[in-house]
Structure 1
C-alpha cells in the first residue's frame, strides 16, 4: 500500500506547498515545489537502490553516505520527470479538467470583450442608482450565490464576474467580495440539487457496500443525504455567516484591515498584491464610455441561461424527470457551451454598435486568453497536487488513524477534524469525500447500527471537506473564486480563514452537544435542526465581540469602513481614488 510505503512523508508535499504559499505569497511557485517534492519522495527509494546496485562492485569508503547523497540528487532529477508528467496528465488526461480550462479561457475572453466594449462601466453606472451601499452590494452577491446552486464553479464565475466592478465602485475590497463568492459556492452546492449531490450519493452507496447490511435493507442514498443536511453544519453556518457579516458590517481580523484600506484609500487590492485577473492592467480604458447596459447584462444572461438549458439537456434521457436531469447533468460540458455563447454575444454587440471590427474582437479574445494564464497555471498545479496525493497515499495514511479512539459521541467530531485536515492538505473536497465517506459509513454503522448516525457522519465528512477547501490555497474552488473576483489568492485565504474558523468551531460544538445530548433527545434529525439557529445566534454574538475587540485594538472606526463611495473614478485595478463619497 502507498500509505505503508511513504507514511508521514506523504504529508510533506502538501504541507510544503501550503506553507510556502502562505509565506512567499507565490502560489504557483509553492505549488510546483510541492509537486516536485512529491516526485522526489516517490522516487527516493528507487534511486537509493539504483545507486547502491551501481556502486556495489566498488570498494568505496563511506559508500553508504555517498549512496544517500547521490540518491537524493538522482531522486531530484527522476522526481522532476514524474512531476512534469503529473502536471501534463492533470491538464490533459482528464476530460473534466480540460473542460474547466476551456471554460476559463472562454470566460476570460468574454470578460475582456465586455470590458473593452464598456459593458462593465455601464453596469457600474446603473448600479450606482440601485446598489448604493456596500451592504446592498454584499446582499446582492450573497443572493446571487444562493441562486447559483447548481455548480460551484459556475457560481464563482457568474457572481464574481457580475459583482466585481460594482463592488469596486463602492470601495468593497476584493478580499471581501471573494469571501462572499467562495463561501456561497461549494456550501450551497453541497446542500442543494447540484452536481455535488449525485457524487455525494454515490459515495454513500459505496460506504453501505462496505457494511454487512443486506442489500434489501440498505436505505435510499437520497434519504441518507437529505437527513445529513442538518448535520452538514459548516456549510449551512458558513452561508449564514456571510449574511451576518454583510448585514452588520462587523469585520475583524485581516478582513477588517482590507476593508479599512479599501474604504479609506480606494485600493480594492493592496499595493503589492498579485491578483489572478487584472483586466484594466491588461486592456486599458474601454472603447465606449457610455454603452447600453445590455452590453453587460445580455452576455451574462446568455451565460446563465445556456448553462442551465445545456445542463438539463445533457442530463435528459427518455422518461427522466427534472430531478433526474439535474442529478445526471454534465455541468462542465454545459459551462463550455455557455461560455462560448457568451463570447459570441459580445462579438454581436461589437458589430451592432460598430465598436470593434471582427479582427479587433479576435485580438481582444486572444488577449482574454492570456489574462487567464496565471490563474490556469495555479489551477493546473493544484490539480497536480491531487496526483501527488494519489501516488503517495496521503488520504489512506490519514484515514488509517480514524478507528483508534472512537465512541458514538465523539465519532462525528473525529470525522469532522479528519475531513478538515484532509481537505486542507489535499485542497479537493470531492477527493476527501471519495476517500473518507466509504470508510466512515461502515464505522458509524458498526458503532451504533443506526442509519441516523450514518447521516451524521456523512454530514460531518461534507462539513470538514468544505472547511478544509475554504482554508486551502491549493483548492480549485478557492483559486477560481480569486480569479473571477480579481483578488490575490493568498490574501483571499488569509482573510477568509478568520471567518471560516469560528464557523467550524461552532459546528464542532453543536455536533458535540448533539452527541452527548442523545440520552435526552435520542439520535434525532430534528434535534440538529433545532441546534442550527442556536449556532447562528452564537456566531452573531461571536462576530460582534471579535469585531469590537479588533476595531479597538487597531484603532479603526467602523463607520469609515462602512463608508460608501459610488463613483466611476474607482478603477478595477484598485489604484483609483474616488471623487465623491457619502455615508451609508
Structure 2
C-alpha cells in the first residue's frame, strides 16, 4: 500500500529444529484442532451470526505463532480453520474462491507491483555500489551506537511518503552501519518499523493521508473535497503515532532500555552476532560492485530516491508510479555510467521481484484471512460487543481499542476500514463528538495494528529489509508497542472526558 553487509533485502528463513518433535505429534495436534473447527460448524444455524466462534481462527493463529514462531504457517492454519468453520464440506472450493478473490483484488495487485518494483530498485542501487557509498559516507560522519540509531530514526522520518519505502530503503541503507556498531537486526527492524506507519499517518503528504481522506469523504464525515482538511485537523489527536515516535527516539537515545526479547537480541549482537539465528542470506550477488568516487556513489543513491519521492507526489502520492519512474531513471543513469550493462540491470529487477516473494505471500495470506473473517462476521461481532459501553466520553478510547484489536487480528490496516467506517462514523455523529478526535483514534488504531501485527505488510517488510524473521521482529518490539498502546488509550480517555 525487500552476502550480508553488501547484500540487500534477500532473506529466507530456516529452522532445522522446528520439527524436532515427532511429525506424528504435529499431525495429531493440527488434526484434532481442525476436527474441532469442523465440529463447531455443525452448531451454527444458517442465517445467524457466528458470534464468539468468529474470533477463534485468529486466536488459533496467535497460539500457533507462539508455538512455531512461523508467521506464514500460522496464517494458513487460521485460514483453514476459518474455512472449516464456514463449510467443512467445501474446504478446497472455499480456499480456491478466496485465493482468486485476493489475487484479483486491486489492492493486492498494487502491493505486489510496489513490493517487486521497490525490491528491484534497491537491488540495482546495491549492485551499482550506491547503497555502499551512502553507508560509507554515513560511517565517516557517525561515530557510535547511539548516533547510528538516531540517524536511522531521522532517515525514517525523512522518508515519510510511504511505509513500504521507509521499511525497505532505510533498512537497506543502514544495515552496514548497524552491523559495525553491533546493533541487532531486530533492533534495526524496530527502529525502521516505528518510523514507518506511525510517521505516515502524521504527514498529510503520504499514501495513508490520501487514502483515508477519500474514505472520510465517501462515508459522510466530510464534504466532497474536505476529507484532507478533516485529516489535517485530526493529526494532533493521532496519539499512537506521536507516542510511537517519542518511544523510538527514547530507545535510540538510550533513555529507554532494552526490554524482553530485545535484551537477548542486543546481547547476542554485542557478542558479535547482529544477524539472528535461523537466517540464511541468499540471492543477490554483489561481489562485482564497481568502485566509484564517493560523491558519485552518493549522488547515484540520492538522485533515484529524490526522483522516487518527487514522482510519487507528482502522481497524487502513488508509490507504484513513483517506483516505475525511479526505476527507469536509475536504469538509464547506471547504464550511462556503465556501472551495469542492460542484462545486469534487467536481472537486478527480476531478482528484486524474486526476493520479495516471501513478504508478498505473507500479505496475500493476510488478505485471505481478512476475507475469511469478513465471512465469519468477526468485525461486526467485536464492535457490537462493545456497543453497550459506548458514551460520548468513552467513544474515542473504545474506538481506538476496538479497531486496534481488529486491525491486529486481520493484519489489514487499510482494507478493514472500508467495512468499519460506515459503522463507527455514524456513532460519532449521533453522539455529537469531535470528529477530528474520532478520526485521530481511528488512524491511531490503524498505525498500531500495522505496527504490532506480525503479519502486517509494514512489519513483514521491515523484518525482510532488516534481516530477521517477522516473528523475531514482532516479539522483540512488542513491549514498546504495548507501552505506546496503553499510553494512547489513556490519552483518548482523557481527551474524551475533556471534550465530552
Classify the TM-score, shorter chain: 0.7 to 0.9
Aligned counterpart, 2:114: 103
Aligned counterpart, 1:333: 321
Aligned counterpart, 1:271: 277
2:76 counterpart of 1:35: no
Can you give the 5+ residue segments of structure 1 that lack an aligned partner in the other structure?
45-74, 210-214, 316-328, 524-584
Say if 1:417 and 1:480 are closer, same or farther in 2 by CA, change over 3 A: same
Post-superposition offset of 1:284: 5.3
Say if 1:359 and 1:394 are closer, same or farther in 2 by CA, change over 3 A: same
Q: Deviations over 1:38-78 (max 9, x none)?
A: 3222223xxxxxxxxxxxxxxxxxxxxxxxxxxxxxx3xx3
2:281 counterpart of 1:237: no
2:177 is matched with which residue: 155, 166, 178?
166
Say which SS state the counterpart of residue 404 (structure 1) adopts: helix
Post-superposition offset of 1:428: 1.3
Output the CA distance in 1 between the equivalents of 2:327 and 2:276.
Answer: 30
Say which SS state the counterpart of residue 385 (structure 2) adopts: coil
- Please identify, of 403-412 and 97-106, the stretch whose mean Cα deviation from structure 2 is larger: 97-106
Question: Which of structures 1 and 2 has the bigger CA Rg?
Answer: 1
Aligned counterpart, 1:189: 200
Does the 8 Å CA contact 1:3/1:10 hold for their aligned counterparts?
no
Output the CA distance in 1 between the equivalents of 2:66 and 2:299.
Answer: 39
Post-superposition offset of 1:422: 0.4
Aligned counterpart, 1:416: 400
Post-superposition offset of 1:491: 0.7
Q: Deviations over 1:398-452 (max 9, x none)?
A: 22223212222222221111011101101112234333333222222323x24x2
Does the 8 Å CA contact 2:397/2:496 hold for their aligned counterparts?
no
Post-superposition offset of 1:460: 1.5
Say which SS state the counterpart of residue 386 (structure 2) adopts: coil
1:246 is matched with which residue: 252, 272, 281?
252
Say if 1:124 and 1:252 are closer, same or farther in 2 by CA, change over 3 A: same
Alignment of 1:49-198 (within 5 A): 75=89, 78-91=90-103, 93-193=104-204, 194-198=206-210
Aligned counterpart, 2:423: 439
Output the CA distance in 2 between the equivalents of 1:361 and 1:150.
Answer: 26
1:13 is matched with which residue: 57, 67, 75?
57
Output the CA distance in 2 between the equivalents of 1:398 and 1:16.
Answer: 17
Paired residues in the alignment total 454
Post-superposition offset of 1:172: 1.4
2:313 counterpart of 1:312: yes
Does the 8 Å CA contact 1:118/1:287 hold for their aligned counterparts?
no
TM score, norm. by length of structure 2: 0.82
Q: Deviations over 1:354-395 (max 9, x none)?
A: xx5544554454444332222222222222222223333222
Say if 1:11 and 1:237 are closer, same or farther in 2 by CA, change over 3 A: same
Say if 1:383 and 1:231 are closer, same or farther in 2 by CA, change over 3 A: same
1:226 is matched with which residue: 224, 228, 232?
232
When the two chains are superposed, the root-mean-square deviation of aligned CA atoms in Å is 2.9
Does the 8 Å CA contact 2:455/2:470 hold for their aligned counterparts?
no
Output the CA distance in 2 between the equivalents of 1:79 and 1:411.
Answer: 39
Output the CA distance in 2 between the equivalents of 1:219 and 1:402.
Answer: 32
2:391 counterpart of 1:390: no
Does the 8 Å CA contact 1:112/1:283 hold for their aligned counterparts?
yes
Q: Deviations over 1:200-230 (max 9, x none)?
A: 2333334546xxxxx99x9944443333222
Aligned counterpart, 2:33: none
Say if 1:515 and 1:99 are closer, same or farther in 2 by CA, change over 3 A: closer
Say which SS state the counterpart of residue 391 (structure 2) adopts: coil
1:378 is matched with which residue: 362, 383, 391?
362
Post-superposition offset of 1:503: 1.0
Output the CA distance in 2 between the equivalents of 1:224 and 1:2.
Answer: 41
Aligned counterpart, 2:21: none
Say if 1:393 and 1:339 are closer, same or farther in 2 by CA, change over 3 A: farther
Say which SS state the counterpart of residue 415 (structure 2) adopts: helix
TM score, norm. by length of structure 1: 0.71
2:215 counterpart of 1:203: yes
Output the CA distance in 2 between the equivalents of 1:303 and 1:393.
Answer: 44
Output the CA distance in 2 between the equivalents of 1:168 and 1:462.
Answer: 34
Does the 8 Å CA contact 2:213/2:227 hold for their aligned counterparts?
yes
